Amino acid sequence: MKTMTCRQLGGPCDVEHRGESADDVIKAQDRHLKEERAGDTAHQSAREQMKARWRHPKRSLGWYRDAKQLFEALPEA
């Protein structure tokens, strides 16, 4: 089990996401960004970037690869 924060995944806060794989924490980040209130300007940019990743997955492979590498480099918690 490893932990990544919202900030490590491109967001503005230090909410922690835990998972067995990078995909687990990426999905948790997506849920976190969706759950933030519409008036939350701090998360607005990250939320828009997330939406763009899902709409254009081929263009987002660099972000995904970087997130996976960061996850793999983390120690087990």
pLDDT in tens, 1-27: 999 999 999 999 999 999 999 999 999
10 backbone φψ class: left, alpha, beta (φ>0; ψ -120 to 50): left
Residue 77, pLDDT > 80, answer: no
Domain layout of the chain by residue ranges: 2-73
Residue 38: the pLDDT is 61
Phi, psi of 10 (to 5 degrees): 100, 0
C-alpha to C-alpha distance for 42 and 39, rounded to whole angstroms: 9
Name, in order, each residue with C-beta under 8 angstroms of 56's C-beta and a sequence gap of 6 or more: none
Find where tokens 């607005």 sit. 44
Q: What is the pLDDT of residues 36-70, one digit of tens each?
A: 766 678 888 888 888 888 788 787 888 899 999 99
